[in-house]
Structure 1
Amino acid sequence: MHIDILTLFPDMFQGVMNTSILKRAQDMGAFSYETVNFRDYTESKHNKVDDTPYGGGAGMVLSPQPLFDAVEAVKEKRTAEKSPRIVLMCPQGEPYTQQKAEELAKEEHVIFLCGHYEGYDERIRTHLATDEISIGDYVLTGGELGSMVVIDSVVRLLPGVLGNEASAPEDSFSSGLLEHPHYTKPANFRGIEVPEILRSGNHAKIDEWRHQQSLKRTYDRRPDLLSSYELSDKEKQWIHSWENGE
């Protein structure tokens, strides 16, 4: 995978992209990235990338020309079999999910558009971007931090990046449920013991316990997720017992 990040502040990405898992993923060739300052593509004699909004109002709006030209330039440098996904980081976008991360992880080329100021010219949204993503119902000063979140969540899903191929599928949200509790040594820490079943060696029972705990944690903390989760008969029985305080 190759990732292009169109931003006015490319220095923001140096620490994040060259540390920990993202650094290792680059070293092993799982992905590469490039930051592109789209101010370099402006045709404005004053080097501007924004202007006042038509109709009046507060703030400045990013102009379409620099972003369109920057996207065309980075696309010309790649020879991917299919067109890249062009992701607009925007508070109005679709809420970001693990399923979206898994979808983007299948792509060969992804371009992120990171805006600043009051917003984007609508033509960027309707005629350039293929996806609009929001990482939450709040507003940041720009799209850079949001794009870092999305990139981290996507790159960790690329083959071989995590080392243990079972790690990603067991993450919270991958199955539609939150992840089960984890324990490690010592078995007894300050009088708090690891559940006995995890020390039993009975892997079938351990798997069932973990699944039940995953469902219980979702039921307690994120019951909204269960509206789109297809419950088995056994899972319905578990929930019925919790509803009755058992």
Structure 2
Amino acid sequence: MPQIKDLIAHLDRLLEADEFKDYGPNGLQVPGRDEVQTVVTGVSANGPLIDAAVEAGADLVLVHHGLYWRGDPQQITPLLHRRLKPLFAHDVNLAAYHLPLDAHPEHGNNALLAQRLGGVNARRFAGIGVAIDFDTPLTIEELTHRVRDAVDGREPLVVPGGPDTINNIGIVSGAATDDVLTALDEGLDAFLTGEPAERAYSIATDANIHFLAAGHHATETLGVRRLGDLLAREFGVRHIYVDVPNPI
């Protein structure tokens, strides 16, 4: 069985984790047993995901949103204790990759969303995001349908403030409402994120751009699932993706 240190070193290199100034630590956050046979992936390191991972016999829980964030209390709170206890009790590793996984040009959340939307000419947008063009212009109804399919059926919030025909879109998963301003600066017709802020509505309607929000969780399932599949292929581990439903 592969060693945890080898899996983490591989992911650190692949995602260039050291290149990012992030809101929390990337890489191994909780050490456990040395050998890995089963990897459970999920979006966020919450109690239900960790419980499901333990039940599945995980040696490594690999997530996008980890346990530690800048500004958190310095002590182990009851909330953190609830999440750490099953990991310690069953000697399970936990690793997280946040911005590096959003930004990766091949395996990242935004790159994979762009692929699912069927765009061309993918390019870096707003730091960690992706902008794409469409070979054939879309209506807002057609774009909404593509976004819904891209996030496995989650109905997006749509502010149809832009032009009748949509030639391009900027994508930043998670909570990135203000990157709609970058989309405006770059002359894009539409912008997609996950979790909206209230000001998005008036920005879209006043500035003539379509704004879509398909859910913070829903827009960030693809990258971590891809990492689990890569580890299964390259290290021969068993990969199980666990989706803990989250409407936000």
**Greater RCO structure (CA 8 Å; 6+ sep):** 2
Give 1 or 2: higher strand fraction: 2
TM-score scaled by length of structure 1: 0.27
If you compute each CA radius of gyration, which structure gives the higher value, 1 or 2? 1
TM-score scaled by length of structure 2: 0.26
